[in-house]
Amino acid sequence: MLNGLTIKNYALIDNLNVNFHSGLTIITGETGAGKSILLGGLSLILGKRADLSHVKDASKKCVVEATFDIAKYNLKPLFQLHDLDYEPQTILRREILPSGRSRAFINDTPVNLDSLQVLGERLIDIHSQHQTLQLTNDDFQFQVIDALAENRKDLSDYAELLKQYKALKTELNLLNTQKSALLKELDYNTFLWNELEEAKLVAGELETLESEYETLNNVEDIKEKLVLSHNLLSNDDVGVIHNLSEIKALFAKLSNYGNSYQSIYERIESSLIELNDVFSEMEDLQEQLEADPNRLDQVNSKLQILHNLTNKHSVSTVEELIEIKEVLAQKVFDSEHLESRITEKQNRINEVESHLKLKAKAIHDKRVKIIPNLISQLESILAVLGMPNAKFKIDIKLTANFHQNGSDDLQFLFSANKGGQFNELKKAASGGELSRLMLAIKSILSKYTQLPTIMFDEIDTGVSGEVSNKMASIMQDMSKSMQVFTITHLPQIAAKGDTHFKVFKEDVDNETQTQLKQLSTEDRVVEIAQMLGGSNMSTSAIAHAKQLLN
């Protein structure tokens, strides 16, 4: 239940701090006194979008804070779901900063408006004249039926299945789109892949082949230079090796004369060893070197293939060609196996669709079962409220379509008069009849939901006399199991409250402010007498007010 409400710097409210109690709480006040301001401030707590124009002093922060006693309402799982600290006395706070930014808190933890709305929907139901018009809306009518049918869990399961179903359908559409595009490219991609596969690509091959080509293509020139080099190294008279050997022999004798000669000797010896190795390798190259026109043609052909492929794919290495081949292989694979993926996805859709149909049927059956009970209760309450001839006809038809709340189409028909034709609510019911019907529905819902608090904003519009007495009795009955607020202009309803607050305006320091005051027993007599007879209270109005209160 709502224990306390604080509003600072909002519309005509400078600083309001009020505590509330269980039972039926009445709020009265002249038109324009600020009852709508009170509801507007409370709606911020429930996640409504903030509007800087509602801030009284734009240079200061606007704060609205409400305290709720939620110990009895099994809301711990909801707090856990939204990663919030659970407190039996939970505080919801909303701040509008001078910059226009808005902040929201639950038990001092910053939250987004979605979390505030989700929790707010479980704490308080503000009924407005706008909500009365919702009676004619299919979604609201389904909500009423589902509350009585206890469909919350089934609807939650259905919503999760529907989410999966829509996601799978989207994925299937994407696969079909890919299939269309890939099939167009399949032949070309397969051709490109085959071309690269036939080239038998080997990493590093291009550099190796280019080196081999240069060798085979210049055999005679290489052989000539190798022979000449061989002679220069090995000639018995003027060869480098012969001469260096002679020098080595000379320095072998000089090495005994000092370290400097020994050092030169060692370097000559090292050079001679290296030169002999070079000579041996040159001889090996000479033995290996021979003209091979066939191999030259093979190397030239392979190089031509590789150069054509690198040019075609705008790359410079075989390694890049190998990467392209792997990408093409994946595309070809995807194209050839896409059909199986589509079939697999369709099978999964069929499976989820089957579960959806079963869940929708379960929801439908529970709705159908509860409808006679709902009609009976509605007609009984409306008879008490002065509509003895009111009749309902509620038809629910199971379809093949998947709506957000099941697969049903709903017809909620009403007839206010004996022998009258059944018609849609928006065509068959007047404003006063809709108000009474909404109260009847809220009265029924209060038995099936664990909503802590409900606030009626002028639900008595269009009614008077004995009907207003009956409406007040119904709200009194509701207040035995929940906290009920009602904003009213009718003295018959105001007199039934356990607690009575008055909204009024007063001028403070040349500034008009909205105030809210709890009325004492004497104050209530005066307020109800004024509601009965205006500001010039007669003795009979006071007596009537006391009679109503008693």
Q: Judging by beta carbons within 10 Å of its beta carbon (0-12, 13-18, 19+), is residue 13 exposed, middle or buried?
A: buried
Q: How many CB atoms lie within 10 A of CB 130?
A: 8
% of the chain exceeding 70 in pLDDT = 98
Query: Among 472, 359, 362, 375, which residue's Cα sits nearest to residue 141?
Result: 375
Give the H/E segment covering residue 244: helix 240-254
What predicted TM-score, i.e. pTM, was given to this entire model? 0.66
Instruction: Give 135's contacts (C-beta < 8 A, 6+ positions apart).
Output: 141, 425, 429, 434, 437, 438, 441
Query: What pLDDT digit, counting tens, does each position of 337-388 carry?
Result: 788 889 999 999 999 999 999 999 999 999 999 999 999 999 999 999 888 9
Tell me the C-alpha distance between 178 and 372, whole Å: 51
Q: How many residues are present in the chain?
A: 550
What was the pLDDT predicted at 131?
Answer: 65
- Please, which pLDDT band fits residue 133 given cuts at 50, 70 and 90? low
- Please, which pLDDT band fits residue 129 given cuts at 50, 70 and 90? low
What was the pLDDT predicted at 236?
Answer: 67
Tell me the C-alpha distance between 160 and 158, whole Å: 5
Query: What pLDDT digit, counting tens, does each position of 240-255 carry?
Result: 878 888 788 888 888 8
Which phi and psi angles does 386 have, rounded to 5°? Answer: 85, 20
Give the H/E segment covering residue 407: strand 406-415
Q: What is the mean pLDDT of residues 447-459?
A: 85
Q: What is the mean pLDDT of the chain?
A: 87
Q: CB of 476 within 8 A of CB of 422?
A: no
**Per-residue DSSP letters for 488-527?**
-S-HHHHTT-SEEEEEEEEESSS-EEEEEEE--HHHHHHH
Tell me the C-alpha distance between 192 and 76, whole Å: 62
Of the two residues 291 and 100, the one the predictor is more confident about is 100
Number of H helices, E strands in the chain: 18, 15
Q: Right CATH number for 1-130+450-519 from 3.40.50.300, 3.60.20.10, 3.40.50.10130, 3.30.70.260? A: 3.40.50.300
The domain locations on the chain are 1-130+450-519, 205-316
